[in-house]
Amino acid sequence: MSRPMLSTELRAVGATYLTPHMRRITFEGPGLADFVSVAPDQQVKLFFARNGGALAVPAPAADGDVTRWYRDYLAIPESERPWMRSYTVRHHLADRRQIVIDFVLHGAEGDMGPASRWAATARTGDVIWMYGPASSRKQVREQAAWRLFVGDETALPAIGAFLEQLAPGERAFVCAEVSDATEEQRWRSAGDVDVRWVHGGGGPRTNDPALVRAVRATRLPGGEGFAWVAGEASLVRAVRRHLVDECGMDRRAVAFTGYWRRHLSQDDAFTEEDIKDRTDALE
């Protein structure tokens, strides 16, 4: 029997701009006393009321069956079903019973998705719902000789959390894509970390994206490393292909997740490519 998920209301108690397009929101909630962190890249599902309607989110199954819970969620009539989006818990402040989430404010006004729109205007006291947390399927190997973290803005919260957990002497390389220098972040780490920023993003994808070129230009040491890749799905695919096909990394040593899809929202059905990614990720 798996651990039941936590399902709780979240109330915004603070908001600040980390960078011009990254808004950090701190939340409190009645259920957060029971929040147990599961991994640096732990994800939660957040729910946003549709058109000012109710935040009706099904209760988690007592036996931890997530599939049944998801079926119950889908059974809510679409006009009332809250929007569901995935986010990373950037910090869990256990002593304060708070969690912190960093939201990328993507898209121009009127063109934002519901999560980005909510985060852009959130004020103290605003309420959403949370279900989770869950860890990614593939955990970063403790014994890896080095770690490589690659991603776009949506991956920065997880990358920051990973770096903060490194022990002195552990080596890590980061290749991160942000729109411009104002979106770069600084992280604290006890590890030995090299960070390479790529500017651009958002534009049309090429066969050889700048992020892949940045990975190619990174001088990875010998020994068995572990790579973690997240961000826009086609970009993640390109980086993964490079690491496995060109660098010869063992595919089991590459954790990858498409965090969002160009021109598709998280309400849209999986494409064939998404399904293949999910199957590959289980290897």
Ligand X SMILES: Cc1cc2nc3c(=O)[nH]c(=O)nc-3n(C[C@H](O)[C@H](O)[C@H](O)COP(=O)(O)OP(=O)(O)OC[C@H]3O[C@@H](n4cnc5c(N)ncnc54)[C@H](O)[C@@H]3O)c2cc1C
Least distance CB 158 / ligand X (angstroms): 7
Which residue lies nearer to ligand X by CB, 38 or 247?
A: 38
39 near ligand X, judged by CB under 6 A: no
Cα 195 to Cα 173: distance, rounded to the nearest angstrom: 6
Cα 187 to Cα 195: distance, rounded to the nearest angstrom: 10
For residue 133, whether the previous peptide bond is cis, meaning omega lies within 30 degrees of 0, is: yes
Site for ligand X (CB under 6 A): which residue of 58, 266, 274, 280?
A: 266
Give burial (CB, 10 Å; 0-12/13-18/19+) of 86: middle
234 near ligand X, judged by CB under 6 A: no
Cα 169 to Cα 144: distance, rounded to the nearest angstrom: 12
Scanning 64-72, 138-146, 160-168, 255-263 for contacts with ligand X by CB under 6 A, the matching segment is 255-263
For the record, the structure tokens of 131 come out as 């279900």
109 near ligand X, judged by CB under 6 A: no
42 near ligand X, judged by CB under 6 A: no
- Which of helix, strand or coil describes residue 35? coil
114 near ligand X, judged by CB under 6 A: yes
Which residue lies nearer to ligand X by CB, 189 or 257?
A: 257
What is the contact mask toward ligand X in residues 66 to 95, using x (rule: CB under 6 A)?
Answer: -------------------xxxx-------
Nearest alpha carbon to residue 179 among 259, 104, 102: 104
107 near ligand X, judged by CB under 6 A: yes
Site for ligand X (CB under 6 A): which residue of 8, 19, 43, 179?
A: 43
Site for ligand X (CB under 6 A): which residue of 113, 141, 195, 210?
A: 113
User: Edge-to-edge, what's the strand order for the sheet holding 83-88?
Assistant: 83-88, 43-48, 127-134, 6-19, 22-28, 98-104, 91-93
Note the residues at the interface with ligand X (CB under 6 A): 43, 85-88, 102-104, 106-107, 112-116, 154, 157, 257, 259-266
